[in-house]
Amino acid sequence: MPDPVDPHLQQLRLKAEKRLHQLAGSNPDDQQGLEILHELRVYQAELELQNQQLRETQQNLQQTLERFNALYHRSPIGYVTIDNRGQIQELNDSFATMLGYPAGSLRHKYLASYCANDSADVLRQRLPALCKSPQGKILDLSLVNNAGEILLVEVQGQKLPGEECLACNVIDRTERKLMEKALIRRTAELEQRTEELERFNYTVSHDLKSPLVTVKTFLGFLEQDMHIGDKEKIDQDIDHIRTATDRMSMLLDDLLSLSRLGWVADQPEKVSLKGLLEHALMLVQGQIQETGAQVRLVDTDLLLHADPSRLLEVWQNLIDNALTYGITDHNPYIDIGLESGPDPVFYIRDYGSGIPKEFHQKIFGLFEKLDRNSKGSGLGLALVKRIVARHGGKIWVESSGKGKGCCFKFTLPAACIHQTTTES
């Protein structure tokens, strides 16, 4: 429909046209004709000024639109407009960059198709309520970008006036949420360490005090027996004192090894697993001869990158454990090997007394021993667990129960380089 014409301008135009027709054959110096021509020229000048103002206004509007587009598309926050079905109607470049797709390819796609499975269900369930009343509501979603990475985002929406659409802010909280999870995990670790430290202090004071009491007691007996001249009892007293001091020395050595994990930096280097296992077996050769154990060793060219002394402590402790508790007359075998996979699983299997299921976790604690009268301080498996954890791995035991043997398994993701294995 055309715009309405100003009556005054229309009247002026008609008057001018009529007068021009009259002037066509009359005196060009007619005063009234000159006035009309003047009015027309003035009106023409006014129109030119108005056109100039319109052009300036249009230019200002264009600049404002460009600034708005720049702010919209370059915002650090993703903006996406979706309808009540979750279909993307509009989006900014930041949201497209977040997902790693061209903006044009995302329009008219469903937001749920870019969510992880659990988040897609959450979005479908909560979208109707969010569209109805979005104020103050935050939706936590897991989006999957073009590279397959998970983005942890917060979505806040606002209804658009007169439209059945929701304008949403999408804020990437991945780094913050990962830090929160790391903080929660670290807090749990610190609480566990605090609990361990309390048990550590109590047990150390008890275990160190026990051999000291033994030494003090038998020094008194030794003094009496030397006064009497009873050589047999003197030898027994000395044996008891020697055993107590040996136990104290072993306990202090284990405590030193455990504490070194916290303040002595590792010296990583490339090391052959085969060479490492051969070294560990050499260190326990005396026990192997004494128990009559037969060790079956996997043949592998796996290379590890770690502090060799740390890794040696792991295998030596586990082999020593197998020699102490896993050797029987009818089954003297110990199997040392690994299971192939993305993260090789190392294992040491024996066929001895086994470990009841209720102790499968407990044995990795500080000073935990199934047999309180057995040799050792109860720190060996705790030390192994901490070394394995420092290499990004985990350790566990598999055993069907008493008399069924056991198999210690562990991973060392941060230490593995590559693997080729031949079973022997």
- CB proximity list for 171: less than 8 A, separation 6 or greater: 77, 78, 153, 154, 155, 156
Q: What is the pLDDT of residue 372?
A: 56
| Domain co-membership, 316 together with 414 | yes
Does 152 fall in a domain? Answer: yes
Tokens, residue 295: 């060790």
Digit-coded pLDDT (tens) for 281-323: 988 888 888 889 999 998 888 899 888 888 988 998 899 889 8
Q: Which of 172, 204, 239 finishes a domain?
A: 172
Does 1 fall in a domain? Answer: no
Instruction: Provide the CA 352 distance to its chain's centre, in angstroms.
Output: 39
CATH number for the domain spanning 83: value is 3.30.450.20
Question: Residue 98: exposed, middle, or buried by beta-carbon count in 10 A (0-12, 13-18, 19+)?
Answer: buried
- Average pLDDT value over all residues in the chain: 81
What residues does 150 pair with on adjacent strands?
A: 144
Digit-coded pLDDT (tens) for 158-211: 888 877 888 999 999 988 888 988 899 888 888 877 776 676 666 666 666 667
Distance CA 354, CA 41 (A): 112
Does 259 fall in a domain? Answer: yes
| Domain co-membership, 227 together with 242 | yes
* For range 365-373, the mean pLDDT: 61
Tally of CB atoms within 10 A around 337: 19
| Domain co-membership, 252 together with 230 | yes
| Domain co-membership, 297 together with 203 | no
Q: Write down how long the chain is.
A: 424
| Domain co-membership, 420 together with 274 | yes
* For range 345-352, the mean pLDDT: 93
Q: What is the pLDDT of residue 420?
A: 44
Q: How many domains does the chain have?
A: 4
Q: What is the pLDDT of residue 266?
A: 60
CATH number for the domain spanning 376: value is 3.30.565.10
Q: What is the pLDDT of residue 86?
A: 92
Q: Is the pLDDT of residue 90 over 70?
A: yes
- CB proximity list for 211: less than 8 A, separation 6 or greater: 244, 245, 247, 248, 251
Q: What is the pLDDT of residue 101?
A: 93
Q: What is the pLDDT of residue 373?
A: 57
Helical H runs in 154-264? 174-228, 231-263
Backbone angles phi, psi at 132, to 5 degrees: -70, -45
> Where residue 361 falls among pLDDT bands split at 50, 70, 90?
confident
Q: Which of 214, 236, 264 finishes a domain?
A: 264
* For range 153-157, the mean pLDDT: 91
Does 139 fall in a domain? Answer: yes
Who has greater pLDDT, 363 or 155? 155
Q: Is the pLDDT of residue 143 over 80?
A: yes
Does 2 fall in a domain? Answer: no
| Domain co-membership, 48 together with 137 | no
Instruction: Provide the CA 376 distance to its chain's centre, in angstroms.
Output: 37
Does 73 fall in a domain? Answer: no
Digit-coded pLDDT (tens) for 316-329: 889 988 988 888 88
Digit-coded pLDDT (tens) for 196-235: 667 666 666 666 666 777 788 888 888 888 988 888 888 8
Tally of CB atoms within 10 A around 335: 17
Does 334 fall in a domain? Answer: yes
Q: Which of 141, 172, 203 finishes a domain?
A: 172
- CB proximity list for 14: less than 8 A, separation 6 or greater: none
Who has greater pLDDT, 2 or 66? 66
Rounded (to 5) percent helix, strand, coil in the chain:
55, 20, 25
| Domain co-membership, 226 together with 364 | no
Q: What is the pLDDT of residue 12?
A: 61
Backbone angles phi, psi at 125, to 5 degrees: -70, -40
Question: Residue 42: exposed, middle, or buried by beta-carbon count in 10 A (0-12, 13-18, 19+)?
Answer: exposed
CATH number for the domain spanning 207: value is 1.10.287.130
| Domain co-membership, 296 together with 393 | yes
Measured CA distances, 356 to 326, 336, 362, 395 (Å): 14, 22, 11, 17
> Where residue 135 falls among pLDDT bands split at 50, 70, 90?
confident
> Where residue 8 falls among pLDDT bands split at 50, 70, 90?
low
* For range 234-247, the mean pLDDT: 84
Instruction: Provide the CA 196 distance to its chain's centre, in angstroms.
Output: 25
Backbone angles phi, psi at 169, to 5 degrees: -95, 130
**Region of poorest pLDDT, from 7-16, 119-128, 173-182:** 7-16
* For range 79-103, the mean pLDDT: 92
Distance CA 64, CA 358 (A): 71
Share of the chain above pLDDT 90, in %: 25
Tokens, residue 108: 């008219």
Who has greater pLDDT, 84 or 12? 84
| Domain co-membership, 64 together with 83 | no
Q: Under a CB-based contact definition with an 8 Å cutoff, are residues 166 and 158 in contact?
A: yes
Provide the b/e sequence for 99-109 (b: ≥16 CB within 10 Å). Answer: bebebeebeee
| Domain co-membership, 338 together with 417 | yes
* For range 356-371, the mean pLDDT: 75
Domain carrying residue 241 = 182-264
| Domain co-membership, 278 together with 413 | yes
Q: Under a CB-based contact definition with an 8 Å cutoff, are residues 156 and 138 in contact?
A: yes
Q: Is the pLDDT of residue 260 over 70?
A: no
Q: What is the pLDDT of residue 258?
A: 63
Does 177 fall in a domain? Answer: no
Digit-coded pLDDT (tens) for 13-54: 666 666 656 655 555 556 666 777 777 777 777 778 888 888
| Domain co-membership, 277 together with 370 | yes
